[in-house]
């Protein structure tokens, strides 16, 4: 066995105060951030008190975000957020982020500089793996583990083996991070990286903007991954320079590190993807989709709610109209992104096209509100899951795609390539 370590192993070794760690080893790690949201925080807070917690380990490092059912969709949601607010006040938390000052957790934590390269982060939400795009180890945990970590500032875990995905070359037109990860899941399956650290590298990844990198790491959980990771480079440094309020560390894997598996793909083989119901692994190239009428299109979520995603959708929708009978819902990922999209004229483009523009929320992604599907309805969405009943009625269907396909489909009334509208 090599003496070298992957970037994930180095991150966990540092947090555990060890020189080296190996896959399968159990470690206790100090945490840089512990996060919970309005679905998971109530249980985490309950567990915090049950274990005898009095004060959180660090009021700067425990972050609560109300994003799943906000703006409050009903009395239950309002009561939950009220409880979070009261806990945040009692504990004097620096970061309680709710409607009007926040947005979707996995977008605003990086954007606010709360997660940085070299960090070890847990969140009571499965898509906490998003922050691997910054060169951090981040993973989702149960609410009980989050509650314990709020008190202790530590968590235990088993060091995952690393699977490396090397993608080389220039992406096809309209393809981006969403297409890379859907293609990856389509190749290896929803359990293809079970409890593994999915590391992405190669010239395609190096050329990818941060928005695409966040999208890739966000969805590694849909392949069964424990975490996703991309080694920090100048693109990451450019992102964090003006955001970081504390020191951070950029790590890279050793040349002689051991990987459980290495996959090598050409970007030329990755056309824009669509994942069919009811699993993300049911990915097909857009040329293989066929005739699928839709009732709804959604651009947003923690997966594709960044400004770059909204720009991509607006490029397709500019000067066009959403098809009769189709609801096209646009959800900026944060209050700041919503503001910037307004300043750029993107919101005007969406409204003129006949779209609905929402305040930041997870809303329809989990079938909560702002776009729930009825029986028999079909949606194409930039969200991350298309399980049975994910967006509403169990007899509805969700097709996953990137923003260009979602926007083009809204205009055509069926899932289609933007090339059908934007030839040349």
Q: List beta partners, residue 334.
A: 103
pLDDT at 370: 87
Q: List beta partners, residue 38.
A: none
Say which residue the tokens 């590694």 belong to. 220
Q: Tell me if residue 356 falls in helix, strand or coil.
A: strand
Mean pLDDT of 77-103: 91
In the structure encoding, which two tokens stand for residue 292, read together?
Answer: 């699928």
Residue 245: which H helix or E strand, with range? none
Distance CA 171, CA 387 (A): 28
Neighbours of 52 (CB within 10 A): 7
Report all structural domains of the chain as residue ranges with CATH numbers, in order of start: 7-264 (3.30.499.10), 277-416 (3.30.499.10)
Distance CA 103, CA 321 (A): 28
Distance CA 415, CA 374 (A): 19
- pLDDT tens-digit series, residues 354-405: 999 999 998 887 888 889 999 999 999 999 888 888 888 999 999 999 999 9
Distance CA 29, CA 293 (A): 49
pLDDT at 237: 96
pLDDT at 75: 93
pLDDT at 212: 96
Q: Quote the mean pLDDT of the chain.
A: 94
Mean pLDDT of 44-51: 93
- Closest C-alpha among 275, 303, 277, 223 to residue 392: 277
Q: What percent of the chain has pLDDT over 90?
A: 88
Report CA 309 to chain centroid distance, whole Å.
13
Looking at the chain, the number of H-run helices and the number of E-run strands are 14, 18
**231, pLDDT greater than 90:** yes
**3, pLDDT greater than 90:** no
- Closest C-alpha among 111, 276, 257 to residue 182: 276
Handedness of CA 417, 302, 107, 223 (dihedral sign): negative
Q: What are phi and psi of 247, to 5 degrees?
A: -70, 155
Distance CA 361, CA 384 (A): 14
Distance CA 162, CA 259 (A): 5
- pLDDT tens-digit series, residues 279-334: 999 999 999 999 999 999 999 999 999 999 999 999 999 999 999 999 999 999 99
Q: List beta partners, residue 330.
A: 299, 357
Q: Kindly give the interhelix angle for 335-343 and 346-353, rounded to the nearest 10 degrees.
A: 80
- Closest C-alpha among 89, 92, 33 to residue 61: 33
- The model carries a pTM of 0.95
């Amino acid at each position: 066995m090599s003496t070298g370590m992957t970037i994930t192993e180095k991150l966990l070794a540092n947090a555990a105060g060890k020189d080296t760690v190996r896959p399968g080893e159990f470690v206790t790690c100090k945490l840089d951030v512990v996060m919970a949201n309005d679905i998971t925080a109530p249980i985490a807070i309950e567990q915090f008190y049950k274990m005898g917690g009095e004060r959180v380990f660090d009021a700067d490092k425990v972050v609560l975000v109300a994003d799943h059912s906000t703006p409050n969709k009903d009395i239950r949601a309002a009561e939950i957020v009220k409880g979070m607010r009261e806990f945040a006040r009692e504990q004097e938390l620096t970061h309680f982020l709710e409607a009007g000052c926040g947005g979707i957790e996995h977008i605003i934590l990086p954007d606010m500089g709360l997660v940085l390269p070299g960090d070890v982060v847990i969140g009571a939400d499965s898509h906490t793996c998003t922050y691997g795009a910054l060169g951090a180890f981040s993973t989702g945990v149960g609410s009980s583990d989050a509650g314990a970590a709020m008190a202790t500032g530590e968590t235990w875990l088993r060091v995952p083996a690393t699977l490396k995905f090397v993608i080389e070359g220039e992406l096809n037109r309209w393809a981006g991070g969403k297409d890379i990860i859907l293609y990856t899941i389509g190749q290896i399956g929803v359990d293809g990286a079970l409890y593994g650290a999915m590391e992405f590298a190669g010239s395609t990844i190096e050329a990818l903007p941060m928005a695409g990198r966040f999208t890739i790491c966000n969805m590694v959980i849909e392949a069964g991954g424990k975490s996703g990771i991309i080694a920090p480079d100048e693109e990451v440094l450019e992102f964090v320079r003006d955001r970081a309020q504390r020191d951070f560390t950029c790590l890279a894997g050793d040349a002689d590190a051991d990987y459980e598996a290495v996959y090598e793909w050409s970007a030329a083989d990755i056309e824009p993807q669509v994942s069919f119901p009811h699993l993300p692994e049911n990915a097909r190239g857009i040329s293989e989709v066929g005739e699928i009428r839709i009732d709804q299109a959604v651009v947003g979520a923690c997966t594709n709610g960044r400004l770059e995603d909204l720009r991509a959708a607006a490029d397709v929708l500019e000067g066009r109209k959403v098809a009769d009978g189709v609801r096209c819902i646009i959800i900026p990922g944060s209050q700041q992104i919503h503001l910037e999209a307004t300043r750029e004229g993107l919101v005007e483009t969406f409204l003129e096209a006949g779209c609905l523009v929402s305040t930041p929320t997870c809303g329809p992604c989990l079938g909560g509100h702002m776009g729930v599907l009825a029986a028999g309805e079909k949606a194409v969405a930039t969200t991350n899951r298309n399980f049975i009943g994910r967006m509403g009625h169990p007899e509805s269907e969700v097709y996953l795609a990137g923003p260009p396909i979602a926007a083009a489909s809204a205009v055509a009334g069926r899932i289609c390539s933007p090339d059908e509208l934007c030839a040349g």
